[in-house]
């Protein structure tokens, strides 16, 4: 019963992560400060999680025929763990592959 739900959740999370990062980097490119500070990274991780929860909680409630509150409590572990994972993953990714143009000083973008 939850196998198809897991596939839907994963598909939504991966798709939203792609879209969210595109939108975030467009916003980031317009900022005066181009550095990815810890504060900015935390905001990125929390923003992603909050918006993802807005998609997933109604889906879980509908699929399992439970209330939104019950769906929230079923998802609470992921609500706590995913922002931490997102923060660590993105920081590591940036260290391994470098910052995107949106996070580099203006002179490096030319």
d(CA 38, CA 35): 9
58, part of any domain: yes
Strand blocks (E) in the chain: none
Domain of 77, in residue numbers? 39-89
Q: Is the pLDDT of residue 84 over 60?
A: yes
pTM score, whole prediction: 0.71
Place of tokens 């409630």: 61
- 67 pLDDT band, cuts 50/70/90, is very high
**Number of structural domains in the chain:** 1
Does 66 map to a domain? yes
- The mean of the pLDDT values for the chain is 88
Asked if residue 101 lies in contact with residue 108, where contact means CB atoms within 8 angstroms, the answer is yes
Establish if 98 belongs to a structural domain: no
Compute the distance between CA of residue 87 and CA of residue 62 in angstroms, rounded to an integer.
29
Residue 45 burial by CB count (10 A; 0-12/13-18/19+): exposed, middle or buried?
buried
Q: How confident is the model at residue 110 (pLDDT cuts 50, 70, 90)?
A: very low
């Amino acid at each position: 019963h939850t196998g198809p739900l897991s596939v839907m959740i994963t598909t939504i999370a991966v798709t939203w992560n792609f879209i969210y990062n595109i939108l975030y980097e467009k916003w980031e490119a317009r900022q005066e400060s181009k550095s990815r500070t810890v504060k900015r990274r935390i905001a990125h991780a929390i923003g992603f999680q909050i918006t993802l929860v807005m998609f997933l909680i109604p889906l879980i409630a509908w699929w399992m025929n439970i209330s939104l509150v019950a769906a929230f409590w079923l998802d609470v572990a992921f609500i706590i763990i995913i922002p931490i994972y997102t923060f660590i993953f993105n920081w590591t990714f940036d260290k391994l592959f470098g910052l995107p143009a949106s996070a580099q000083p203006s002179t490096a973008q030319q």
